[in-house]
Amino acid sequence: MDIKEYLLPQGARPRRFTIAANDMIYYSDHQRGYLGRLDPKTGKVDEWPSPGGPTSRPYAITSFPDGTIWYSESNVTPNTIVRFDPKGSTFQTWPIPSGGGVLRHFVSNKKGNKIYIASFGIHKVGVVEISKK
């Protein structure tokens, strides 16, 4: 077995990660409020500030077949679901109706139209249905 580690920017504290269809690794930087992308072929790292700011505490994350990245901001009230489109580096956000507690884990379906969320602290599981508009 071979293990290779990649250096992230100073202060980065990745909480969760997902591997996109193009094999890029996206991570939620809980400490600094960033979404990060690592190219494992080159080691290059790109980062974007999360819409909720430096204390938004990005956490759960998943990727869709269309290349979009979905993650949660766990330190905004209410918690938000964030959509990132790497093609234009654009973000969209939606509040969690119950507040969310802390969304620690996401699972997306293969069709790319649902995210299953675990809401820690409020004892709920949710389904986010995504419409194509």
Domain harbouring 46, CATH code: 2.130.10.10
The DSSP element (H or E) to which 109 belongs, if any, is: none
| Model confidence, pTM | 0.93
Does any domain span residue 2?
no
| φ, ψ (nearest 5 deg) of residue 123 | 60, 45
Average confidence (pLDDT) over 83-112? 91
- Residue 133: the pLDDT is 60
* pLDDT tens column, 10-43: 999 999 999 999 999 999 999 999 999 999 999 9
Let me know if residue 86 belongs to a domain.
Answer: yes
CA atoms of 132 and 2, how far apart (whole Å): 41
70-78 average pLDDT score: 94
Domain contains 112: yes
Preceding omega of 14 cis (within 30 degrees of 0): no
d(CA 102, CA 118): 8
Does a structural domain hold residue 125? Answer: yes
Count the domains in the chain: 1
Q: How far is Cα 97 from Cα 37, in angstroms, rounded to an integer? A: 29
Q: Is residue 3 part of a domain?
A: no
